[in-house]
């Protein structure tokens, strides 16, 4: 009975995750109904958290060295502590629910959540109304601030586990950008094992974008992109290629950090939210798309005019359309769709993770599309609304386009969906 109650509450909370990639247009009545439903689900999660947990907690793998908390148990519940003897109230804020914490005689507050999905989760504490990170964890950039992260072990985590295999290099690269008013910007570049040893080999490139409220650190830190690639290459499941991860927010453009801004520094903590948030907005250079106050054309110009030329000039790339791909999650998926379909002369492989899809009606010249595009990959978590994406992929298949739809089991709009998506997408790249 205990396990059943926890599972029901857990699933109820998961269904409240907003489908940010394709937000519905709700009437005021529907919006009110959704808010009432979310309030009910929050109460169910709070009730589930009151059930005593199974005491087999282990420290999260994302903790700072030597730190016991946060910890996760076999029920996928998260527990953490905070020493705050003068505080009046402390809450554990994770998954859009604030769980009350209890103060001990030593001034240490302790609290646990209802069961969470497997994979990575942003979270924070709320101390007397102020949001603060957990000092026990490493820091991750999401929800437009640096904050805490916890890892709930996944049953299939072997594909992104650290193993004794040849490893590539994930390095910070600083590059000049005329698009960003002559600022020097940062990206991260993954080069596959052996890149430094064999100076004669050149490689294809995947440009891989983060979601809304995240930055260029996301795919390396939360997404484990380097480890996923190392393991795939070691198993012979994918061809080696370079991955470039840049910041979609361009200084000087709408939604950017401002001219010449340095890499993001921790701002005041915002409310804990789902990752990758982005909603459609106005048109950009390549067609419709954008985020809340965000202009896709800014990154489009930066990618085409600054970043790709810099990478081709400074890394051993195969600098042509057949050997260049683009993919992204949520907002990054929307950017991918917008930019690639407008520039088929630049990209041959397209990956959209929880960020919409490409309909056959979006391609006025299907013959040219089939000739230039070698693969279209669309994915969603099983708890997202991916039905339209699946339908569009089937339509592309019927039109003769090499298209794949993938559904991540038992996940929503979250990092495990996107880790699995990269794992499925990478073997499709650069096969011919």
* Whether residue 285 sits in one domain with residue 138: no
CATH code for the domain of 150: 2.60.40.10
Give pLDDT, residue 295: 63
Q: What's the average model confidence in pLDDT over 252-259?
A: 59
Regarding whether 205 and 316 lie in a shared domain, the answer is yes
Encode 26-85 in three state secondary structure: CCHHHHHHHHHHHHHHHHHHHHHHCCCCCCCCEECCCECCCCCCCEECCCCCEEEEEECC
Banded pLDDT at 34 (limits 50, 70, 90): confident
- The parent domain of residue 13 ranges over 2-49
Q: What is the mean pLDDT of the chain?
A: 88
Q: Of 338, 332, 273, 286, which is closest to residue 21 (Cα–Cα)?
A: 332
| pLDDT value at 241 more than 90 | yes
Quick one: average pLDDT of 95-117?
97
- What integer pLDDT is reported at residue 41 of this predicted model? 87
Whether 170 and 294 share a structural domain? yes
The verdict on 262 and 317 lying in the same domain is yes
Q: Are 198 and 88 in a shared domain?
A: no
What is the model's pTM? 0.87
Q: What share of the chain in percent tops pLDDT 90?
A: 79
One domain, residues 41 and 101: no
- Please determine, for residue 173, whether its predicted confidence score (pLDDT) is greater than 80: yes
Confidence of residue 31 (pLDDT cuts 50, 70, 90): confident
Residues 82 and 201 placed together within one structural domain of the fold: no
pLDDT band at 290 (very low <50, low <70, confident <90, very high): very low
221: closest CA among 170, 156, 267, 274? 170
The tens digit of pLDDT for each residue in 67-104 reads 999 999 999 999 999 999 999 999 999 999 999 999 99
C-alpha 224/C-alpha 245 separation (Å) is 12
Residues 74 and 184 placed together within one structural domain of the fold: no
* Burial group, residue 116, by CB count within 10 angstroms (0-12, 13-18, 19+): buried
Which of 246-250, 275-279, 300-304, 319-323 has the least mean pLDDT? 275-279
Report pLDDT for 277: 42
- On whether both 162 and 224 belong to a single domain, the answer is yes
Decide: 378 and 384 in contact? Cβ < 8 Å.
Answer: no
Residues 224 and 307 in one domain: yes
Q: Give CA 255 to chain center in angstroms.
A: 18
If one counts the domains in the chain, the total is 3
What's the CATH code of the domain at 258?
3.40.50.1820
Burial of 58 (0-12, 13-18, 19+ CB in 10 A): exposed
- On whether both 233 and 343 belong to a single domain, the answer is yes
Instruction: Give the C-alpha separation, 41 to 43, whole Å.
Output: 5
pLDDT digit string, tens, across residues 183-220: 999 999 999 999 999 999 999 999 999 999 999 999 99
pLDDT tens for 8-24 read: 334 433 333 333 333 44
Residues 390 and 289 in one domain: yes
């Amino acid at each position: 009975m205990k396990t059943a109650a926890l599972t029901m509450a857990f699933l109820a909370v998961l269904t409240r995750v907003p489908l940010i990639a394709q937000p519905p247009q709700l009437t005021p009545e529907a919006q009110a109904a959704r808010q009432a439903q979310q309030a009910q689900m929050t109460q169910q999660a709070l009730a589930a958290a009151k059930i005593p947990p199974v005491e087999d907690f282990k420290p999260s793998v994302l903790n700072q060295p030597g730190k016991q908390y946060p910890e996760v148990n076999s029920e996928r519940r998260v527990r953490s502590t905070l020493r705050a003897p003068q505080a009046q109230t402390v809450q554990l804020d994770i998954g859009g629910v604030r769980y009350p914490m209890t103060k001990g005689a030593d001034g240490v507050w302790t609290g646990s959540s209802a069961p969470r999905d497997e994979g990575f989760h942003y979270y924070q504490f709320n101390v007397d109304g102020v949001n603060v990170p957990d000092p026990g964890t490493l820091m991750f950039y999401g929800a437009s601030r640096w904050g805490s992260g916890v890892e709930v072990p996944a049953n299939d985590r072997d594909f992104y586990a650290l193993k004794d295999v040849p490893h590539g290099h994930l390095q910070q690269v600083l590059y000049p950008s005329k698009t960003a008013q002559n600022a020097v910007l940062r990206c991260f570049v993954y080069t596959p094992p052996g890149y430094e040893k064999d100076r004669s080999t050149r490689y294809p490139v995947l440009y891989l974008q983060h979601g809304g409220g995240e930055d260029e650190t996301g795919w390396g830190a939360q997404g484990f992109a380097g480890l996923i690639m190392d393991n795939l290459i070691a198993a012979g499941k994918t061809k080696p290629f370079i991955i470039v991860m840049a910041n979609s927010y361009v200084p000087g453009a709408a939604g950017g950090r401002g001219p010449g801004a340095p890499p993001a520094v921790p701002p005041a903590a915002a409310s804990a939210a789902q990752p990758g948030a982005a909603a459609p907005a106005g048109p950009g250079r390549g067609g419709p798309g954008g985020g809340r106050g965000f202009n896709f054309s800014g990154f489009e110009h930066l990618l085409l005019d600054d970043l790709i030329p810099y990478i081709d000039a400074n890394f051993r790339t195969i600098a042509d359309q057949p050997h260049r791909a683009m993919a992204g999650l949520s907002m990054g998926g929307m950017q991918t769709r917008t930019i690639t379909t407008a520039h088929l002369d630049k990209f041959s492989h397209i990956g959209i993770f929880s960020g919409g899809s490409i309909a056959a009606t979006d391609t006025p010249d299907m013959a040219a599309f089939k000739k230039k595009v070698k693969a279209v990959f669309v994915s969603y978590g099983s708890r997202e609304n991916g039905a339209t994406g699946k339908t569009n992929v089937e339509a592309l298949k019927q039109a003769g386009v090499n298209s794949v739809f993938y559904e991540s089991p038992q996940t929503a709009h979250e990092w495990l969906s996107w880790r699995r998506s990269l794992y499925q997408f990478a073997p499709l790249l650069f096969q011919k």
